Structure 1
Amino acid sequence: MISGRILVVDDDAAIRTVVREALRREGHEVETAASVAEQRKAMARFAPDLLVTDVMLPDGNGLDLVPEMLADHPGMPVIVLSAQNTLATAVRATEQGAFEYLPKPFDLEELCRAVADGLRSRATRTDVEPEGIKEDLPLIGRSPAMQDVYRTIARVVSNELTVLVFGESGTGKELVARAIHDLGARRGKPFVAINMAAIPRELIESELFGHERGAFTGAQARTAGKFEQAQGGTLFLDEIGDMPMEAQTRLLRVLQEGEFTTVGGARSIRADVRIIAATHKDLPAMIANNMFREDLFYRLNVVPVHLPPLRDRPGDIAELARHFLDRAGQEGLSRKRLGPDALARLTAHGWPGNVRELENLMRRLAALSREEVIGARLIDQSLSGGAETPLPLLVGRGLSDAVEASLSGYFASFGDELPPDGLYDRVLAQMEEPLLRLTLAAVRGNQLRAADLLGINRNTLRKKLTDHAIDLAKLRRGP
């Protein structure tokens, strides 16, 4: 084990004492400081081999001092500790030149390992001015599982390594890809996403690489593919586990050679893109069943990011729910807030649809609820599919939000599977009957008025009433 001189800076006396004694047991020489002023004096006197510093100090920000410390002591590893456990803090610590970032509360053994790694590396780090790092980033949550995600993102934004994001549907895999793009050197360049599960097998190669005029029936003009559209930026390959084997082979060749040709083309095009892929499937199991290429997996899985399901990060649910309600209010929906009993109910829910399900629930409540404070009753009612809003309120944006939220809940009920085929006709048929009933109820069974409201002729309305066996007499009587 390599021992060294360690300076620990934290305004909490208990933390200083615990860390100092733990590091001394590891054989290091340790001094401590409680402020920026004390840190500067100790740096000059003690000349540490490694610095451990908190961010929020009584007389300054420890993170802001990292470039200064590195300028005076080139090659000195800096480990940043912070209770501000956000993605922005993790990224900024890395961009300022920190060797490691550990969120508070931290594990002593993990800190000791980071110190040992830092002393072994003595890596020379250049000063990087933070650019474009905002607190308003798409990933939200301060749970330990999300801290691991933030730290991985912070380590890859400054390089071009290929990233493979694992996570259940609805956990935010595209948000991770966008964060890496927006915080990296390719920010400002195209971010192009393609979902392999949403494209017919026979069209995937054309979608990815483009095609020339006449390459196949219907190809009337040259069309650029996603690789060409993303030149200079990032290409996000979502649901990579759904890519057919033949397309996997061609993608592997592009990753190996760094160039591609369009379908029907002969000229090689250089692929200047960063690849980020994502999947909710068990790729190693697919490899074992000859459903996914092992060599492609290793090409993509250079840096894995594992996104936790929402049920494994219950401490983040309240912050996420408030964020989604605030955003709904900014978009023009009614501004709502959550009562204490609602937060307890949200935390107790299993969230099979993960963060996407929570977002849709908050938007649905913002669109449809009459009450300003959302309680557990409304949460239960909405989760169970109940509705308390009459037809006149379901207009404009609210109707779109309600339909989207309902369909999202339907998809979420299947977990990682997809609904049965024929979804389009089935959903339209299921929406048509309640639409007819509610419209006729609103006009007390007046078919002429109902046909006008619906924008269809009276004969069409009569046929639909027969098809759905709707009782007009009951609707005329009203509630």
Structure 2
Amino acid sequence: MSKGKTILLVEDDPAIAMIIRETLVGECAHFASVASIAERNAWLADNRPDLVISDVVLPDGDGIDSLPGAGVDANTPVIVLSAQNTLDTAVRATGIGSYDYLPKPFDLDELTASVRAALQRQAESAIRIDPGQADSHGLVGRAPAMQAVYRTIARLASNDLAVLILGESGTGKEVVARAIHATGLRRAGPFVAINMAAIPRELIEAELFGHERGAFTGAHSRNAGRFEQAAGGTLFLDEIGDMPLEAQTRLLRVLQSNEYSTVGGSQALRADVRVIAATHRDMRTLVADGRFREDLFYRLNVIPVTLPPLRDRRSDIAALVRHFVDAGRRSGLPDRQFAPAAMQWLERYDWPGNVRELGNVVQRLAVLSRDTVVTVRDVETVLHEGGGDGGAVEPATLIARAIDDWAREEMACAASDGAIHEKLEAIVEAALFRRVLRDVRGNQLEAARRLGINRNTLRKRLGQLDIDPAHP
């Protein structure tokens, strides 16, 4: 127990408040719980907590925005709890100097560990975030895999450490890099990006560090490199895994000394940048194969951020679709709605191109769909025309997933009578029979032949399933 310590909990959900109290009552000498901003302010008028745990959405306002000036000492650690699991919430929590941010539902062991650590040492200095920069950072989604990303970005706001963003192509690595820049200490400076895979190897050093007039054939004037252009801000080195070894050596020296010189120049210039690198490659494999310097890898990999592929955050697909539809509408594309079946199709697709591919597909659907409501046929057509078949889930896999979802819900239903096999057999048979009958224009003899069953058996099952062969 932390002797003499007082914890103030601000939580309007009685069940959650009770669970937290029972979990933490042994971690402090005094535990107080209030359910609103007004109750919190009244309690703070007469008491001084050693730790504040606060929800964001409270009956009378925002638990984050209302906390500064409420009487909490600047050095008092704050743990923010929120069901609004977005980067904006994490950044605002960091902006009030919170010690930690835990998205709901949270793990009680994680909460306890955070409380113990917070009570053992002072909270970090408050980080001032420009409210105008904290509205949106281009990141969409509340899946658990994204929550870890949000929390890491928020914790990077108070320092200038190098960051290495890892993830498959199309997962949004540059979006995350821009979010780190926009919430960090250098947000007033420029954000300069360079794709290492797109620069000819003989020009990489000139692109990074600039060159003097006459440094090489065609250098008719002095050009500032990306390090100089990004001075005071952030330099984003995309696809760092494709950087040639000779350029890696030069970059390592710059990161070690914070100085560089232009190609053909002799004057030492200060590298006044925060470096964020990104790659879709397996960096440890590149190091093991001798294609990437180990010392440079560790120099860049101070804070790793790993982005999940879209197939691992399918619950975010609907929100991402809405985001892309809204963005398209603002740029002049037609507004679109998605039929439930079409959205389910998108959520079951494996998206080898990740978020980038989804955004492209939504834009094409906005242009090519004939109606305001996008159908399954629209989605299938656009993906086929766009060469997306390679990422499509096999029909058998889609059927298996659908059966898995249906069976899970059926077994969880209190009214389930246990006849799951019979129910599923009827559903599958009815869909199959209707499909075949439509293809053969109601010809039962041909339908039976294609199905591989006796015509009398087909006729009997059609009657049991109440299917009119003329109008399936």
Task: State the TM-score bracket (shorter-chain normalisation).
Answer: 0.7 to 0.9
Find the aligned partners of 1:351 and 1:126 in 2 and give their Cα distance. 40
Find the aligned partners of 1:241 and 1:213 in 2 and give their Cα distance. 30
SS at match of 1:359: helix
State the 1:358 CA deviation: 0.2
Find the aligned partners of 1:361 and 1:218 in 2 and give their Cα distance. 42
Find the aligned partners of 1:20 and 1:351 in 2 and give their Cα distance. 43
In the superposition, relative to structure 1, how do residues 13 and 184 fare at CA in structure 2: closer, same or farther (>3 Å)? same
1:41-190 aligned within 5 A? 41-69=42-70, 72-123=72-123, 125-126=125-126, 128=128, 130-190=130-190
State the 1:157 CA deviation: 2.1
* TM-score, normalised by the number of residues in structure 1: 0.78
Find the aligned partners of 2:281 and 2:391 in 1 and give their Cα distance. 16
| Equivalent residue, structure 2, for 1:21 | 22
SS at match of 1:352: coil
In the superposition, relative to structure 1, how do residues 159 and 35 fare at CA in structure 2: closer, same or farther (>3 Å)? same
Does the 8 Å contact 1:322/1:338 carry over to 2?
no
| Equivalent residue, structure 2, for 1:357 | 357
Q: Does 1:317 align with 2:286?
A: no
1:301-450 aligned within 5 A? 301-385=301-385, 406=386, 409=388
Find the aligned partners of 1:96 and 1:45 in 2 and give their Cα distance. 22
| Equivalent residue, structure 1, for 2:225 | 225
Instruction: In structure 2, give the amino acid aligned to 1:11.
Output: D
Q: Deviations over 1:255-313 (max 9, x none)?
A: 11111111111111111111111011111121112111111111111111111110010
Q: CA RMSD, aligned part only?
A: 2.0
Between stretches 138-147 and 45-54, larger displacement belongs to: 45-54
Q: How many residues align?
A: 391
Find the aligned partners of 2:252 and 2:391 in 1 and give their Cα distance. 32
In the superposition, relative to structure 1, how do residues 72 and 23 fare at CA in structure 2: closer, same or farther (>3 Å)? closer
Instruction: In structure 2, give the amino acid aligned to 1:357.
Output: E
* TM-score, normalised by the number of residues in structure 2: 0.79
| Equivalent residue, structure 2, for 1:273 | 273
| Equivalent residue, structure 1, for 2:205 | 205
Instruction: In structure 2, give the amino acid aligned to 1:56.
Output: V
Percent identity of equivalent pairs: 58
SS at match of 1:102: strand
| Equivalent residue, structure 1, for 2:41 | 40
Find the aligned partners of 1:379 and 1:80 in 2 and give their Cα distance. 40
Does the 8 Å contact 1:78/1:98 carry over to 2?
yes
Instruction: In structure 1, give the amino acid aligned to 2:176.
Output: V
Find the aligned partners of 2:82 and 2:331 in 1 and give their Cα distance. 33
Find the aligned partners of 1:199 and 1:154 in 2 and give their Cα distance. 32
SS at match of 1:157: helix
Does the 8 Å contact 2:92/2:134 carry over to 1?
no
State the 1:411 CA deviation: 10
| Equivalent residue, structure 2, for 1:418 | none
Instruction: In structure 2, give the amino acid aligned to 1:37.
Output: A
In the superposition, relative to structure 1, how do residues 182 and 126 fare at CA in structure 2: closer, same or farther (>3 Å)? closer
Does the 8 Å contact 1:92/1:130 carry over to 2?
no
Q: Give unmatched runs, 5+ long, in structure 1.
A: 386-405, 414-479
SS at match of 2:12: coil
SS at match of 2:158: coil
| Equivalent residue, structure 2, for 1:286 | 286
State the 1:235 CA deviation: 0.6
Does the 8 Å contact 2:94/2:126 carry over to 1?
no
| Equivalent residue, structure 2, for 1:391 | none
